[in-house]
Amino acid sequence: MMKLIFLVIASAILIIINSAQATLIYSNDFENGVGSEWSSSRIGYDDDTSHFLGNFGNDTVTLSLEGLPAHDTITVNFDLILWDSWDGENTRWGKDYQGLEADNTQVYEYTFSNFSQTNQTNPDLSRQLYGKFGGTQHWQDSLYENYNDGFTFDHTGSSLTLSFYGRHLQSLGDESWAIDNIRVSSSSPAPVPEPATMLLFGTGLTGLAGSRMRRKKR
Ligand SMILES: [Ca+2]
Ligand SMILES: [Ca+2]
Ligand SMILES: [Ca+2]
């Protein structure tokens, strides 16, 4: 009987753990155009990066999602492409900012540099491509695949608006940005059973075991 109780409790815990998995609610690699969920239909192409959404300068481009499943966190993963002469913290030609808001709340905003790995607040220095692979051929460009390993934030509503933006940038030919391979996932942490529920659950099974034992004795 103790084995049975253990199995029942172990199964219940496993079910709780499984229910905590993330759900992919949106993805787009922009190889087949862009839908009305985006505020911009501007698609660019480069041999080294494939099709991407952009490029943008001091613009805000929004992704609007409706009918989300029940959740309490959202994770956004995407590639970030920075074309040309991003000046980071340089106050003569910048500072050059790129960021993301979710429902008008800031998720991140950093300065970025295509000249220096230090003169910027960008914390992710693991760019997968660096060189004159697009944009204006005069300047170096950067591709960050799965930038910053994504961003996770608290969110519960059934709709979500993500706003990618650039600000304080020079002209589009001088510095611009694009995104690709975006994935939006939602997840709910495992529901933690309250101690009282666990106690009742335990006494219920113990009671069952007790009545079985009493029946056997008769
Ligand atoms: Ca693409
Ligand atoms: Ca510049
Ligand atoms: Ca600049």
Nearest to 178 by CA among 59, 31, 73: 59
Distance from the CA of 57 to the center of ligand 2, in angstroms? 11
Distance from the CA of 113 to the center of ligand 3, in angstroms? 9
Q: Starting from the CA of residue 145, give the closest ligand.
A: 1
Q: Please give the pLDDT value at position 136.
A: 76
Distance from the CA of 177 to the center of ligand 1, in angstroms? 14
Distance from the CA of 95 to the center of ligand 3, in angstroms? 6
Torsion 198-200-204-210 (CA) sign: positive
Q: Starting from the CA of residue 58, give the closest ligand.
A: 3
CATH topology of domain 24-189: Jelly Rolls (2.60.120)
- % the chain with pLDDT above 70: 77
Q: Which of 136-150, 178-192, 201-215 has the lowest mean pLDDT?
A: 201-215
Average pLDDT over residues 123-144: 91
Q: Please give the pLDDT value at position 19.
A: 53
Distance from the CA of 168 to the center of ligand 3, in angstroms? 7
Distance from the CA of 11 to the center of ligand 1, in angstroms? 42
CA distances to 17, 92, 168, 185, 190 from 62, rounded to whole Å, are: 33, 30, 19, 17, 31
pLDDT for residue 93 is more than 60:
yes
Domain locations in the chain as residue ranges: 24-189
Q: Please give the pLDDT value at position 216.
A: 46
pLDDT for residue 69 is more than 70:
yes
pLDDT band at 112 (very low <50, low <70, confident <90, very high): very high
Distance from the CA of 113 to the center of ligand 1, in angstroms? 23
Distance from the CA of 26 to the center of ligand 1, in angstroms? 15
Neighbour count for residue 82 (Cβ, 10 Å): 28
pLDDT band at 192 (very low <50, low <70, confident <90, very high): low
pLDDT band at 134 (very low <50, low <70, confident <90, very high): confident
Average pLDDT over residues 197-214: 48
